[in-house]
Amino acid sequence: MDLAILWFVIIAVLWTGYLVLEGFDFGVGMLLSILPHGGREQKETERRVLVNTIGPVWDGNEVWLLTAGGATFAAFPEWYATMFSGFYLPLLIILVGLVARGVAFEYRGKINDPRWARRCDLAIQAGSWIPAIMWGIAFGNLVRGLLLDADFQYVGGFWALLNPFALLGGLTTLVLFLLHGSVFVALKTDGDIRQRACRLAAGLAVVALVVAGGWAIWAQVAFSVPWTWAAVAVAALALIGVVVATRARREGVAFTLSAVAIASAVVLIFGSMYPDVIPAIDGGVPLTVAEAASTPYTLTVMSWVAVVLTPLVIAYQAWTYWVFRRRLSTKDIPAPVGLSWQKIKDAAF
């Protein structure tokens, strides 16, 4: 049982890593239609700046999702089966969005054509907006609980997942990721785009404080335990700090505080769920940590593997961020070098 609790905490940590790191990826992707200003060429250059801020790291950030899913499958197979079958359609929508976004990131600069760039930008934006909302809906339902039968199968249907509490959760993650992304842009860029990102982040922090605060208080009062009030308070203070830090042009502090706000939300979510991995509603049967866990031998082997490999993965990713730490501006964007459609047609025919 102690190992089961340990792995419940580890999975919460993995989700924290994913939502903090992929959260600013989603935010930057959503900002492609919001932050760039000026004429057509200026907007295109600024979009390339935004894409380049996350270009070296976005795929590494998604590894945290794979690790969280793999750890859930190995440590809590019953939880994995129930969650991935019950959330099959929402998770499929998220997966399609992530695939489209990844393809657009990789191939946006391969063809020098404005229409191609616009289509890739649309894919990046759709692959950012949709998961940003859907993750909040999914976690909102995990906090609220699902209608499970005696075999721990979800029997509520897709539309039952779109309840008011979960929809507010989707709006919460959307606003938090937009805030996190705008702070990241302010941290990674220079010039006019940095100033605009700072102003936007200061405004979004106020919106996030209202929206996320409303959802957190609802979750705390209706579904959670007393000690998670601390997570609610930390998140609120962190968002207030983001407003102060962005106005003072302390982007590093603001980014750290926005990450703390997201991490506090994860603490609230998993703290509200425990001792269940999936709480139940309307007389359903909850799935507890103990019932969902693998055998002690499996958890022991997983623990030793995690002790050896996790520090290496974290060190490698930290090194990646250190290598690509320099700020970017429109002056760093070279002329497009991709092939034109005409050259592609000539080569093909």
Instruction: State yes or no: pLDDT of 6 exceeds 90.
Output: yes
146: phi then psi, degrees, rounded to nearest 5: -120, 160
- Residue 339's pLDDT band, with cuts at 50, 70 and 90, is low
pLDDT at 348: 54
Number of domains in the chain: 1
pLDDT at 269: 95
| 163/60 Cα distance (integer angstroms) | 33
Instruction: State yes or no: pLDDT of 341 exceeds 60.
Output: no
The dihedral over CA atoms of 7, 11, 14, 15, expressed in degrees to the nearest 10, equals: -160
Instruction: State yes or no: pLDDT of 190 exceeds 60.
Output: yes
Q: What tens digit of pLDDT does each residue of 288-330 get?
A: 999 999 999 999 999 999 988 888 888 988 998 999 888 888 8
- Residue 270 burial (C-beta neighbours within 10 Å; 0-12, 13-18, 19+): buried
- Cβ 264 vs Cβ 23: under 8 Å: no
| 222/220 Cα distance (integer angstroms) | 6
Q: What tens digit of pLDDT does each residue of 152-176 get?
A: 888 888 888 899 999 999 999 999 9
| CATH label of the domain that carries residue 216 | 1.20.1630.10
- Residue 278's pLDDT band, with cuts at 50, 70 and 90, is very high
| H-type alpha helices, the chain | 2-31, 40-54, 58-75, 77-86, 88-107, 114-144, 164-188, 192-223, 229-247, 251-273, 289-292, 296-323, 341-348
Give the range of the structural domain holding residue 9, as residue numbers without chain letter: 2-348
